[in-house]
Amino acid sequence: MEIKIKSLLHQLKILKSLKARIFVIVFLIGIIPSFIIRFAILESYEDRAVSLRTSDVQNQLKIIANHLITYNYLKDTSSEVISAELEQLSNLYDGRVIIINSNLKVIKDTYAISEGKTIITEEVIKCFKEGKGVSNYDRENGYIEMTTPIIETSGVAHAEAGDSKTSDIVSGVMLTGVSTDSIMTTMDILNRKASIMGILMMFIIFVIAMVLANVLIKPFDRVTKAISEVKEGFTDEPVSVSDYLETEHIVDAFNQLINRMKVLDTSRQEFVSNVSHELKTPITSMKVLADSLLTQEEVPAELYREFLVDIAAEIDREDKIINDLLALVKMDKKASSLNISVVDINALTEIILKRLRPIARKRDIEVVFESKRPVVAEVDEVKLTLIITNLVENAIKYNNEQGWVKVILDADYQFFTLDIMDSGIGIPEDSLEHIYERFYRADKSHSREIGGTGLGLSIARNAVLMHRGSIKVFSVEGEGTTFTVKLPLGYISA
């Protein structure tokens, strides 16, 4: 029992690590989404800001491209208006605009570095060929680069007159780079704010996780505490923690365990007091007998003799009790101390009955053995002898003068059965459930004159159970009793 409580407490200690687990799980569940959301928001802000900036600049560039045609800038770069527009654009977006004519020559660079040079890049060529601008976001260097075609439309007059012979000619390309520093600055600010929010969130989730883990585990802590209290003997009350169904189950199981321990404890105390009482009775009798001889003067020799016979009987009685107790204690050790051998049950029963018949004859009781078939079984011969002897002894002891005892032996392919029937006094119905208890004796008035300690049936039952057999009783008061013992033919080891 002690071991069971210890293991229960150990199990509950494991719950403590569960607390840590709950904490980690709640914490992760709280923290991971906040990281994902933060990352996703920043990423999508960047995408959106870049595409907005790109389309803004593209629109402006398209307008300027039209102006370039209007002012024939590709041929003559002296236009103040265009210069101002380009200046404004590059200031506004912190960028650089390069205008390339159809010979791939730079005719204007707002940084005034590349003028007169030839630029042959994939994007520029593509822009000339396809008449479409492209844009590229260079995240690492923090700028957006784009190309814008400068398109000249010829044959406008025809087109207006409904003629479809209009043609677009790419007569130049604007190569523009705008800085994304301002986007990055905003991103940095957002990032910083998100970090602060994240730390704050982390702290809040940490606290929530702590509280939650504590709250969830608290009832189990209470169970542990309550059980420890019982274990240390502070309280005798049944434990009750009904926070969860689980704690209720644990506590129920524990209370059952405690109740069983109490029952066992009571029966142990009862046993000890019974043993001491039974052992003392013969000694008290002997003491009385001896004292009465000693206090008398000139006791006649016959009286001495008579008293000594009584004393010898008491010594026999004491001896029997001690032997019975030793037999019981030995069987209690369980440790499968059976000494199994192949035994001829018919022969064994005959021998036991032969030994007991003289006692039966004294009261004119007939003892009959009826064997349905020869039976050979793997049993502990000494223990089986105890079983049969005790049952037949009882059948003779609790019988009427001129009564009968019948022992019937039968077997099937798995078990053999011994029925011990008598025509005796029977057992009262309310005693039936107690007869196997140690020191229990039904009908105290009869018992006293018949004599016995009430250990015989406990011994018999224990021996039967060690063989993995069963023992049953059927009795009608005043008519007789039948005990049926059923044992396996082959020994069944644990």
Ligand X SMILES: Nc1ncnc2c1ncn2[C@@H]1O[C@H](COP(=O)(O)OP(=O)(O)OP(=O)(O)O)[C@@H](O)[C@H]1O
Closer to ligand X by Cβ: residue 175 or 360: 360
Q: Where would I find the H helices in 71-134?
A: 80-92, 122-130
Size of the site for ligand X (CB under 6 A): 24
Q: Taking CB under 6 A as the rule, does residue 365 contact ligand X?
A: no
Specify the stretch interacting with ligand X by CB under 6 A; choose among 246-254, 280-288, 367-375, 455-463: 455-463
What are the strands of the beta sheet with 480-488, ordered from one edge? 366-371, 404-411, 415-422, 480-488, 470-476
State the binding string over 322-361 for ligand X (x if CB under 6 A, else -). Answer: --x-------------------------------------
- Contact between 149 and ligand X per CB under 6 A: no
Residues 423-482 that bind Mg ion (CB under 5 A): 456
Identify the CA nearest to 126 among candidates 145, 107, 144: 145
Q: Which is nearer to Mg ion, 149 or 456 (CB)?
A: 456
For the CB of residue 347, give the shortest distance to ligand X in the complex, in Å: 24
149 binds Mg ion (CB under 5 A): no
3-state secondary structure of 171: strand
Supply the Cα-derived Rg of the chain in whole angstroms: 54
Q: How far apart are CA 400 and CA 479, in angstroms?
A: 10
Interaction partner, residue 148 (ligand X, Mg ion, none; CB < 5-8 Å by kind): none
Long-range contacts of 109-112 (CB under 8 A, 24+ apart): 110/86
Please, what is the angle between helix 245-295 and helix 181-232, to 10°?
20
Q: How many beta carbons lie within 10 A of that of residue 359, not counting itself?
A: 14
Rounded to a whole number of angstroms, the minimum distance from the CB of residue 393 to Mg ion is 5
- Residue 403 binding ligand X, by CB under 6 A: no
- The residue type at 306: E
* Amino acid of residue 366: E
Select the residue interacting with ligand X from 135, 424, 462, 467 (CB under 6 A). 424
Q: Is 462 in the site for ligand X (CB under 6 A)?
A: no
Residues 52-91 that bind Mg ion (CB under 5 A): none
First-to-final CA distance of the chain: 22
CB of 256 to ligand X, least distance (A): 29
Candidates 77-85, 152-160, 331-339, 419-427: pick the segment binding ligand X (CB under 6 A).
Answer: 419-427
Q: Is 60 in the site for ligand X (CB under 6 A)?
A: no
Nearer to ligand X, 299 or 382 (CB): 382
Report which of 340, 324, 410 is spatially closest to residue 380, judged by C-alpha positions: 340
Instruction: Kindly list the distances between the CA atom of residue 240 and the CA atoms of 231, 246, 248, 251, in Å, as whole numbers in the listed order.
Output: 15, 12, 7, 6
Binding positions for ligand X, rule: CB under 6 A: 324, 390, 394-395, 398, 422, 424-427, 435, 440-443, 447, 452-458, 481
